[in-house]
Structure 1
Amino acid sequence: MKTVVEIKNVTKTIRGKKIIDDLSFEVMEGEVFGFLGPNGAGKTTTIRMMVGLIGITSGEIVICGKNVVKEYEEAIKHVGAIVENPELYKFLTGYQNLEQVARLIKGITKEKIDEVIELVGLKDRIHDKVKTYSLGMRQRLGIAQSLLHDPKILILDEPTNGLDPAGIREIRDYLRSLARDKGMSVIVSSHLLSEMEMMCDRIAIIQKGKLINVQHVRDDNNTNEKEYVFIVNNRKKALNLLDKQGLSPKVSGEGIGLVLNKEQVPNVINLLVLNDFLIYEVKGQTRTLEDRFLEITNGREVAANA
């Protein structure tokens, strides 16, 4: 897969305080890439640097091979973005809002405007005034504005904020279709774990301005890695044995929890049997993004406070 966005050792310092600390990650063509972290983690600051709204203290941001600082116009022409909320004229119609944006960009035809209207599903309401739109419809109109110039990368900061469940699903399905059908790279920031799990292919977890981990969300859900719970006799002795094997066992209900892929399960069963343990039950349960997020971030907090 082709890399379209590269964040290389980016740091942002404001009034002597590091807001973003040596951040590095890549975004690939045609993926929905999530940027996940608690409020105040630095998500919006990073997005503002990516689109050139604020400067970079050190490091480099490259979009489609172009440096955002040194080749801003060449880099930003590949980007469509909504930072925080879409800016709309509420007393104009949806169509008139798109016309206003089209006047600022060379070469946007009526046919192109009609195409993005169809794409975001606003055909039936596009000639109504924006003040009559639901929040979900305004988000879709904002996305339509961002798509008028055929960007390769769409960047959305908290796109589901304030939406009801139907609106959230609408935006989620639409973003997935952009990546799948158009080959567009979509970068989405959020603090909503469940939404990101359903929407994204990969997720970068950021905490206090630092990159903690990058998770392959959809790959993880489709591979064999799960938490398996082993119900055995003499649990304490079994925990010691598995710990010595470097398997990081933990107490899980009445049994022992191990994070394994499917191929490892027979080996663990064999190890327990050869050491004279009785195995009453083995059950697998998929680890959610919430499980992994809390495991990663809590681990960092413990390490920081040790």
Structure 2
Amino acid sequence: MEPIVELKNVTKTIRGRKIIDDLSFGVMPGEVFGFLGPNGAGKTTTIRMIVGLIRMSGGDITICGKDVKKEFEEAIRHVGAIVENPEMYKFLTGYQNLQQVARLTTGIGKEKIDEVVELVGLTERIHDKVKTYSLGMRQRLGIAQSLLHDPKVLILDEPTNGLDPAGIREIRDYLRSLAKEKNLAVIVSSHLLSEMEMMCDRIAIIQKGKLIDMQMVKEEESIQKHKYVCTIDQPQKAIKLLEKKDYLIQAQPGGFEVTLGKEQVPEVINFLVHHDLLIYEMKKQSVSLEDRFLEITNQKVVKANA
């Protein structure tokens, strides 16, 4: 598969200061792609360049194979986006707001509006005035506006800002189902690590305008490796036995820590039992996105200062 959105060596300089520095990545159809970084890292600036709100200083951005600089209209027709906050007329109903957006593009009729309303789950409230909507409902209406012209890319800048936990979960679940059902490429920016971990398939970590790491979030469990802590009666004997079999292992009080794939866990347990060792516990150590993010960014800072 070819990426629907692709950035190649993109830079942005403002008043002599490089805001975005040689940024390159691609986003695939059906993928929820997270753009993660602290406030001021350059997330919104990058999104503004993708949708053509500001010009890039260097590099190339293509959407469905169309160059944003040279073929802007052809490229941008494939994009639905909410940059920062969805804008709408609060004195009109949700349906009337969608009618106003539909007027901007030919071929969008009542049938299409009804389809999108049902897709975002606003059927029961679509004829109420927007001023009566909760923040989560306004976010869903904003997504509906972005989907009216059947885009291949949906870009959302901080979509869960200001939402309560129920609203956050609602938007998160909706975006994941939308990517699968419509085979959309969904790009989401945020500084909320826990939400990105639950929402995204893949995450680009950006710091000071630079892409510093790319993380797979939804890897297959069978190929994913985790750290396991084993409590055992003879730790030193167990460590020596496992080191001979080339396992990545580290001593712990009363046991050891070992890095294993899911299918290796029963192998290790059987191996140790076969050598007459008593295993009291084998516990998987979960490494959160937050831990990985802090580890990666701290490593970069140490290298930069070295």
TM-score, with normalisation over the residues of structure 1? Answer: 0.88
Q: Is contact 2:136-2:163 (8 Å) kept? A: yes
For the residues of structure 2 that align with 1:222 and 1:35, how far apart are their CA atoms? 26
Q: Is contact 1:221-1:286 (8 Å) kept? A: no
Give the AA of the match of 2:50. M
Note the C-alpha offset of 1:184: 0.9
Tell me what 1:28 maps to.
Answer: 28
Tell me what 2:66 maps to.
Answer: 66
Per the alignment, do residues 294 and 105 of structure 1 end up closer, same or farther by CA in structure 2, a change over 3 Å counting? same
Name whichever of 293-302 and 207-216 sits farther off: 293-302
For the residues of structure 2 that align with 1:295 and 1:69, how far apart are their CA atoms? 37
SS in 2 for 1:90: coil
Q: Is contact 2:222-2:261 (8 Å) kept? A: no
Cα deviation, 1:8-54, whole Å, max 9, x if unaligned, reads 11111111111111111110011111111111111111100000001
Per the alignment, do residues 291 and 95 of structure 1 end up closer, same or farther by CA in structure 2, a change over 3 Å counting? same
Tell me what 1:179 maps to.
Answer: 179
Cα deviation, 1:139-165, whole Å, max 9, x if unaligned, reads 000000000000000000000000001
Name whichever of 258-267 and 205-214 sits farther off: 258-267
Cα deviation, 1:127-185, whole Å, max 9, x if unaligned, reads 11111100000000000000000000000000000000111111111111111111111
For the residues of structure 2 that align with 1:130 and 1:165, how far apart are their CA atoms? 21
SS in 1 for 2:23: strand
Per the alignment, do residues 13 and 110 of structure 1 end up closer, same or farther by CA in structure 2, a change over 3 Å counting? same
Give the AA of the match of 2:294. L
In the alignment, structure 1 segments of 5+ residues that lack a partner are none
In the alignment, structure 2 segments of 5+ residues that lack a partner are none
TM-score, with normalisation over the residues of structure 2? Answer: 0.88
Aligned positions of 1:1-306 closer than 5 A: 1-219=1-219, 223-231=223-231, 256-262=256-262, 282-306=282-306
Give the AA of the match of 1:33. F
Give the AA of the match of 2:115. E
Q: Is contact 2:222-2:262 (8 Å) kept? A: no
Give the AA of the match of 2:53. L
Fraction of identical pairs, as percent:
73
For the residues of structure 2 that align with 1:87 and 1:45, how far apart are their CA atoms? 19
Q: Is contact 1:35-1:205 (8 Å) kept? A: yes
Cα deviation, 1:232-264, whole Å, max 9, x if unaligned, reads 799899999999x99876676765544443466
Name whichever of 93-102 and 263-272 sits farther off: 263-272
Q: Is contact 1:226-1:260 (8 Å) kept? A: yes
Per the alignment, do residues 17 and 222 of structure 1 end up closer, same or farther by CA in structure 2, a change over 3 Å counting? farther
For the residues of structure 2 that align with 1:266 and 1:234, how far apart are their CA atoms? 19
SS in 2 for 1:149: coil
Note the C-alpha offset of 1:228: 2.0
Per the alignment, do residues 263 and 118 of structure 1 end up closer, same or farther by CA in structure 2, a change over 3 Å counting? closer
Q: Is contact 2:102-2:108 (8 Å) kept? A: yes
For the residues of structure 2 that align with 1:9 and 1:193, how far apart are their CA atoms? 26
Per the alignment, do residues 242 and 22 of structure 1 end up closer, same or farther by CA in structure 2, a change over 3 Å counting? farther
For the residues of structure 2 that align with 1:207 and 1:219, how far apart are their CA atoms? 24
Note the C-alpha offset of 1:105: 1.0
For the residues of structure 2 that align with 1:11 and 1:73, how far apart are their CA atoms? 22
